Structure 1
């Protein structure tokens, strides 16, 4: 128990491999999810995220490797615990509510018969997922998409699973509803102390919701850690570019930094010519006399901020992410420099 809440066991995936015919999908995946936390597995479509989730859930069997939930190995050499005995909750993009059942009946569907009449349990789960008890008598078609996803989560939480698996659960929702729903879902999972794996291709979703994130590419996890560290210290250019926009600056490395057209940038020790990578928000507009002169080529305005593309010198084009109230005009001469060190 932590802060009065039951914290479930963690997840340990070791050396997981899976091929379909001659096509390898997973190449030896290692993943550790600490008890009671939410870890996001993020990566482009086709990288193996859903296959990983299906192997953890027991819907498919690995060719090699092990899956352990808490202290129990549920998949591995000579071990194949069926899905219904793994104590896993699974929420998909569609939610998959039963249209002919009420919200209360959907939530209690997987419970033993004697527990299905416990109205207080339905009320607790609705409150946990941010819904009023009055929703209990409604049917799925009377709910918004976000409300349906919250009911699907409540149904998955009802049996008190050891592990919750979320497979792109918010991708079918519009932007505003997606933000509200994922915030409510994250709060509900934290309140329940449930160990959770979220699979998504949405980088912002992974970075904002998860305590830890794992970047998956071509069937392997290439980097795992705290989201802020993955963003600031990516393992390679591929990870850097997947987690956000990247600006490439030609540079000459020296003993105490790299010289670029935008000035000196702090980097690890290297020598010779190469390229440094920084984020657009690290390139800032400066006062007259400070920074490199640049011409504004175009502006994408998003309200709170804007992406401003500028030309430095004859052929270096860089993107600046600046506050919405400081947006320069196209054609204006500005000065820019890099704030902070390179990725």
Structure 2
């Protein structure tokens, strides 16, 4: 892949150096409706950051402001250290060196694949067939696709061509707006991994907007969670999952068991016993809500000392979710391997593995 990337660059006329992104205090309203509220976001050069959130949280608006399709009401945006939006400054989209890939790909239906890819290049470079061939190879398509039209391609192939078109002028940053949402599950899996591999090989600084938690956690080096027009947490996928900033974030990025607890000396005492708290969440004693992932709860652990009864099993093949009663009205859910399941009605002992998160709100 590195050799292909080098050939792509050698075939171009200009050598552009990718840079990072800084969004500081950006706000945006449409009429009386606030959409973004003081958004801060840093994306390191050559990295992929996912902006994750539910529909309507403002993530696509943020992408449009970065691209220059809209202007912020307040705040600044820097690309590769250069200001592109701020008080008294709005750089046009074509001057920002942005590659933009949408959910539909938006290929020109009357142009061939080759013409689509070359569309954003300078006029002289559009005739360089070896550059188009190198870009096709980079996205995993052979040169025979150059003469095809978009309607002759599958959805995954169209997205690869859209990516090749976005990478053709060697942009400083690539913006992906839900680029895999329209694909079926099997095609989505293979296409998004191929796209991310291409971006990594190209050394592209990338922002991926998505509402798909698994997509964000599996593809990005950092994830920014948006809620109600604000970024509420930015962290690595592992840190976000293991130590969410609050219960709402915990529930958004995965299943969570939330229990009332009392925190003393970094240990949360709850119905599942005394549990160690992740990160700096253990600072300060008092009442909290402890956040446990179902896969952390092991049944019949060697050191299990919390008795429970199996109430219900939801079987998924590779794993299962077991609902357990701890006595009274307290129930929890544990995720277990599908090959080793207890019987409904049986009694087990529980142990929680690893550190857990807390919510103090």
Give the aligned partner of residue 156 of structure 2: 146
Alignment partner, residue 351 of structure 2: 337
Query: Of residues 107, 115, 126 in structure 2, which corresponds to 1:116?
Result: 126
TM-score, scaled to structure 1: 0.94
**Residue number in structure 2 paired with 1:307:** 321
2:276 and 2:354 in contact (8 A); partners too: yes
User: Which secondary structure does the structure 2 equivalent of 1:284 belong to?
Assistant: strand
Please say if residues 7 and 194 of structure 1, whose CA atoms lie closer than 8 Å, have aligned partners that are also in contact: no
- Asked whether 1:14 is paired with 2:24, we answer yes
Instruction: Tell me the secondary structure at the aligned position of residue 112 of structure 1.
Output: coil
For residues 225 and 99 of structure 2, the distance between their equivalents in structure 1, rounded to whole angstroms, comes to 23
Q: CA deviation at 1:281?
A: 0.9
1: CA distance between counterparts of 2:114 and 2:178? Answer: 24
Q: TM-score, normalised by structure 2?
A: 0.89
Cα pair 2:172 2:204 within 8 Å, conserved? yes
Q: Give the Å deviation of 1:270.
A: 4.7
Report the number of matched residues.
342
| Counterpart position of 1:249 | 259
- Of 154-163 and 120-129, the range deviating more from structure 2: 120-129
Three-state SS of the structure 1 residue aligned to 2:199 is helix
Secondary structure, aligned partner of 2:124: helix
Q: Say whether residues 1:177 and 2:191 are aligned partners.
A: no
Structure 1 gaps of 5+ residues are none
* Residues 1-343 of structure 1 aligned to structure 2 (within 5 Å): 8-255=18-265, 257-267=267-277, 268-287=282-301, 290-343=304-357
Q: Given that residues 257 and 269 in structure 1 are in contact (C-alpha distance below 8 angstroms), is that contact kept between their aligned partners in structure 2?
A: no
Distance, in Å, in 1 between the alignment partners of 2:266 and 2:207 is 41
Which runs of 5 or more structure 2 residues have no equivalent in the other structure?
7-15
1:176-195 CA deviation, whole Å, 9 max, x = no partner?
21111110110101111111
3-state SS, counterpart of residue 339 of structure 2? helix
Label 1:341 to 1:289 Cα distance change in 2 as closer, same or farther (>3 A): closer
